[in-house]
Chain A
Amino acid sequence: MGKVFWEGIDSTVATARELTRIPRTCVMPVLRDHVTGVYNVAPYTAGLISVDPLILAVGVMGQGSQERIKHIDTFTMGMPSIDQTEYIWAAANRMPDGISELEVMGWHLLEREGLHAPGLEECRINLECKILERFKLPEPWRTVMIVRVTAICVNEELIGMEREEILKIIPVLEGGTSIPEGYYGVSTLSGGILSDACKAPKYTGPAPMNGKVLIREEDFGRYPQLRSLAVIPAPTYIVAVNDENGKPIAEVIEFGHLQASQPCLHVPFPRDSRVWARIREVGEFNIYMPTLENLKLVERLRAAPGTDPFALGFTKGGKNMFGIEVPAEIEVCTEADLMSYTEIEEIGVVFAVASKVGAVLEETIDAAADLAITHPARVAECINDFFSRLLFHAHDLDMRRVQVRYGKYSAVGFKTAPSWGNHLTVGLMHIGWLGVNAFHDWVLELTWTKILSKWEAEKIIHELDIWNDSKGIEYLRGDYPEGEMERRRERLTKLIRMMVWAHQDPWKWDGVHAYLETFPNPYLYRGHHMGPMHLPNWDITKEYI
């Protein structure tokens, strides 16, 4: 089978991006804003770095969130369930600073004795985390939090449930593709985990309080069935590089996560890895995504890390832009350019972050995923089928002796939710000169499509102007009447909450219109810079023609 090589600028084509965006786990950190005191909740994706101790990496985007985590040592994050995708989506929408996503979602903080930072009441699993390191990537990129899970809080209905059943409910995985429709692709993969360690032993731990059980890190070993809930499944992959003689060496990796936002590859290596030593020298490497069909070859390579994969049975399929051979058996490969790395002393791991700068795709899958030649339903099917054949690893309840099992996920249960943003600019996230704001673009579209009137748009814009991310109009803030900001916070929160759910259920727009009736008349605040208008009192025929 032939290969298609997408390199450099061309690696931004849709097929290269979609197929290399690998499903991953959604977590929702609850971060208190040190200035406003508001608890912010946003969905991120997390990758496992180590199981003992339990260490995760969570990338944090957005200047506000990056600033917030500088002032926090411990926080709790909820792991949403498959039935909560609408709420994940609601929290993913950008809110003005000072407006809490929690209130918009209608969710509540989980606060209880023994939990050192509030979590999410509605999440069945909450992980209390201590930040080990804030790994700031070079500007303009994100900060990656390396966190140690210090407590787990679980809903009692999960206790005693079999592992397989729990994996079907939690965690939600963000899948990579859906029919192109300007939607934020929160998707779920579920079902089909193969594990002979699924049987849950009888639980004999502390009694639930208000329906939840809390265990702290020192007790993780006593309650493996609870600890295992924090060990999130992810696909296995192979990292390859050429050694100093130009021969490929490779290693199987089960940790980290391959996410969507550049630099998108979070790859942890054992500190003494031969492959890592070579990558540190040359800066460029390749990631192969094996599927269930490649299981035996992967097992061979796992037993001999740092060896030539082609000597173990992989077939040469051509050299990529770095001169590294790609295996004929592998449908999707990613070419990576090392950007930054940090050492995690506690576990002897080097955590590397790299950019995706190329993709090598099997010709048939590239064609099947190409919207210019394939119908979108077929494209979604092709890509999701590929994801379902990846080697997802799960861990045995006995974490100390890490035993990897493979699960087969089926593509059932994918679900997408419509996003903020509009049909034109939904995917343009703060790209250079285009300082796109999804909420603003959404309001524009609502107006152009006549869901909102232009006066309603003006009312919303005016309210946001005066709120100004909870700062108020800076030069007038001192002259605001007492209680003004709190009144405006309540009004904006209610408005956004109504708009969020109207976006999911169009019949709810009537409620939004009725609520906007109570907003101040924006006519009075329009300058000549604010676009054309016509007011009923302008009888132009009578006076001016």
Chain B
Amino acid sequence: MHSGKKVFWEGIESTRTTATEVTRVPRNCVMPVIRDAQTGVYNVSPYTGGVISLEPLIMAIGVMGKGNQERIRQVEEFTAGLPSSDQVREVWAAANRMPDGISELDVMGWSLFQTDGMRAPGIRECRMNLQCKILQLFKLPAPWRTIMIVRVTGMCIDEEVVELDREAMLQLFPTLEGGMSIPGGYYGLSTFTGGIQAPTAKPVRYSGKGAVDGKIFIEEGEFRREEYKPILAAGIVPSPTYIVTVNDAAGNTMGEVIDVGHLQASQPCLHVPFKKDSRVWARIREVGAFTINMPNIGCREQVNRLRESPGTDPAGAGFTPAGRSMFGIPVYTECEMGIDARLIARTDVDECDTVFTVSAKVGAILDEEVEALADLTRTPPATAYEAVNGVYSRYIYRMFDIDMRPVEVRYGQYSVQGFATTPSWGNRISVAWHDFDSFIDYLQELVWLKILSKWEFQKIVNELMLWNDSKGILYLRKYYPAGAMEAMRTRLTTLIKLMVWAHRDPWEWDRVHAFLESFPNPYKYKDHHTGPMHMPNWDIGQYI
């Protein structure tokens, strides 16, 4: 039972663990396959995506990293895989940063496929692939990311899962990225499963076209055909419903229920789509700040009432005010978590009559009990983990009926079962110090822990220097022997693949050591700038 008392973290204090962890909302994982125009390599990374519109089906996917942002400028259409809950490890492998020119696909051991009608290759191992056409590249101000606004132009589903009932389908995929795990320097890919209140739980009898190589591809024009609706429904991923509130010019509060967009982790982290004629949006555009309240499953009736009268005071729909946020906007007893948002940028998505906004999280409002439980300085980690995941599990996840036309929203409840986290690149001290390269930090930790020898470290570093993101050492590139780059690519791919899986299974390090034996001797390349060393030929006794 919650007292309804709130803790307000504002400004710099909103970077506290409790504020950042509890306000990180679970979201969907998509893996776009993007071809690098220079190297010809297909890159695959996991991002989170949010649905902006159902008809047409439009999604927003934020793309970080200079290389990735450059790459997407060179493509118009691509396919993104939706990984399943049993593929968390591969998703993690692809999330680790690779040198340019090394394909994550090779490292994961996954492969591309392109069936008849598909205009860009997808991921064979993903049971669902979405073919996407880029409508807009929405570049946030530097140093932030670019958001791809894409229209789903095709869907490809594995024949073996097409007849699963809705509940089973939702448990299979998509994987949701959860926010909280025991602090362990881990990249927190998590899965939510179970408890969905599915609108169409009955098994589907599929009567559409036959599969090619086990996959069924449908084009956008076929989405609404009766026989393909189960595929469409499966491709629209669930996410939590939230309420956006702002005060009008007279100081009265207006609220609106939003079922689309996504509230992600990397700042500016709030992707909120509004209908162009939204009163709430009109006011936010004027004042630049608003508050998000996350209702839980216990107040679905109030949510439904507010949904029916958007732009009105949530108190009128039955919400109980419990103080005001840093912007003077009310927060509510029924919402365990709230976020203060400052508008950063917006763009019109004309195809769906929507304004897509991006805001920064600059404050957090938490129930006192949740805040205390999530505070690792007061609570053991397992309790904090349970508390935060408990909050996630109480959100109102919206999903859609198979019959999309009259969009009917149903609520599902997720349980905390099935969370899985995986270790990341990076090391125990600086894994989150994002300005720096996590791979080099990871290598350093391996040496300090004596998993790699310092000579093995030097061999890897030397190889990476010569490879130099597939460019080679710039001033020496033209003097590289024929075939040297391809030999290096193969060697580096094998090495990284071995290391990725050794990171999961320490017994695999023996194979890494054996493989590194074949690398060139790094002694020759060390000078006084490359750190201290001692070599067997130095009999220091004779110098004392």
Task: Please report A residues at the B interface, Cβ cutoff 8 Å.
Answer: 7-9, 11-14, 17-18, 140, 177-185, 262-263, 321, 337, 339, 355-358, 370-377, 416, 422-428, 431-437, 440-441, 443-444, 447-448, 454, 457-458, 461, 465-466, 473-476, 478-481, 484, 521, 523-533, 535, 537-540, 543-544
Contacts and interface: CB of A to CB of B under 8 A. Distances in A.
Given A355-B475, A448-B448, A528-B186, A181 B466 contact: no
Contacts of B507: none
Contacts of A525: 15-17
Among all A-B residue pairs, the 4 with the closest Cβ atoms: A8-B479, A475-B360, A479-B11, A427-B530
29 contacts: A8-B479, A8-B481, A9-B479, A17-B527, A183-B529, A185-B529, A321-B479, A372-B521, A375-B542, A423-B454, A426-B530, A433-B99, A434-B465, A436-B440, A440-B433, A441-B444, A461-B429, A461-B433, A465-B433, A466-B15, A479-B326, A523-B376, A525-B15, A525-B16, A531-B430, A531-B432, A532-B428, A535-B377, A538-B380
Nearest to B524: A13
Interface of B: 10-12, 14-18, 20-21, 99-100, 143-144, 179-188, 267-268, 326, 342, 344, 360-362, 375-382, 421, 424, 426-433, 435-437, 439-441, 443-444, 447-448, 454, 457, 461, 464-469, 471, 473-476, 479-481, 484, 521, 523-533, 535, 537-540, 542-543
A468 to B, nearest CB: 9
Contact of B267 (A475, A484, A523): A475
Dominant SS among interface residues on chain A = loop
Contacts of A370: 524
B180 A528 contact: yes
A357 B479 contact: yes
- Which of A7, A479, A481, A528 counts the most B-chain CB atoms under 10 A from its CB? A528
Given A12-B525, A431-B468, 11 more contacts: A9-B476, A180-B527, A180-B530, A371-B523, A424-B444, A432-B469, A434-B439, A479-B326, A526-B376, A528-B188, A529-B185
A114 B326 CA distance: 53
Contacts of B179: 528
B367 to A, nearest CB: 18
Contact of A18 (B180, B185, B433, B528): B528
Given A476-B14, A538-B380, A428 B444 contact: no
B21 A530 contact: no
Given A9-B466, A529-B188, A375 B537 contact: yes
Nearest to A7: B479
B475 A530 contact: no
Nearest to A356: B475
Contacts of A422: 444, 531
A96 B279 CA distance: 44
Contacts of B441: 444
A23 to B, nearest CB: 14
B459 to A, nearest CB: 12
Contacts of B479: 7-9, 321, 357-358
Contacts of A376: 538
Nearest to A474: B143
- Among B441, B468, B475, max chain A CB count under 10 A is at B475
A62 B10 CA distance: 35
Contacts of A523: 376-377
A524 B538 contact: no
B63 to A, nearest CB: 18
A435 B436 contact: yes
A528 B12 contact: no
B431 A530 contact: yes
Contact of B11 (A481, A527, A537): A481
A532 B457 CA distance: 23
Q: Chain B CB within 10 Å — which of A18, A337, A454, A530 has the most?
A: A530
Contacts of B182: 528
A262 B468 CA distance: 15
Contacts of B421: 528
Nearest to A17: B527
B230 to A, nearest CB: 36
Given A14-B524, A180-B533, A437-B436, A527 B447 contact: no
- Please indicate which of the listed interface residues B186, B344, B465 has the most CB atoms of chain A within 10 Å of its own CB: B465
Nearest to B267: A475
Nearest to B461: A428
Scoring B12, B432, B448, B471 by chain A CB atoms within 10 A of each residue's CB, the highest score goes to B12
B437 A434 contact: yes
Contact of B184 (A262, A454, A531): A531
Given A426-B529, A432-B471, A529-B431, A540 B183 contact: no
Given A371-B523, A532-B185, A182 B430 contact: no
Given A529-B188, A531-B185, A431 B465 contact: yes
A357 B528 contact: no
Contacts of B21: 527-528
Contact of A475 (B184, B344, B376, B440): B344
Nearest to B178: A528
Contacts of A440: 430, 433, 435-436
A12 B473 contact: yes
Contact of A524 (B16, B382, B531): B16
Contacts of A524: 16-18, 375, 377
Contact of B532 (A372, A423, A443): A423
B484 to A, nearest CB: 7
A53 to B, nearest CB: 32
B527 A9 contact: no
B529 A11 contact: no
Nearest to A339: B475
Given A183-B528, A436-B440, A11 B185 contact: no
A529 B530 contact: no
Given A8-B480, A436-B440, A524-B16, A537 B380 contact: yes
Contacts of A526: 17, 183, 376
A179 B528 contact: yes
A344 B162 CA distance: 73
Contact of B475 (A178, A263, A529, A539): A263
A164 to B, nearest CB: 29
Contacts of B188: 528-529
A527 B468 contact: no
Contacts of A263: 475
B453 to A, nearest CB: 11
Contacts of B528: 18, 177-181, 183, 185, 416
Contacts of B431: 529-531
A429 to B, nearest CB: 8
Contacts of B361: 475
Contacts of A465: 433
A530 B432 contact: yes
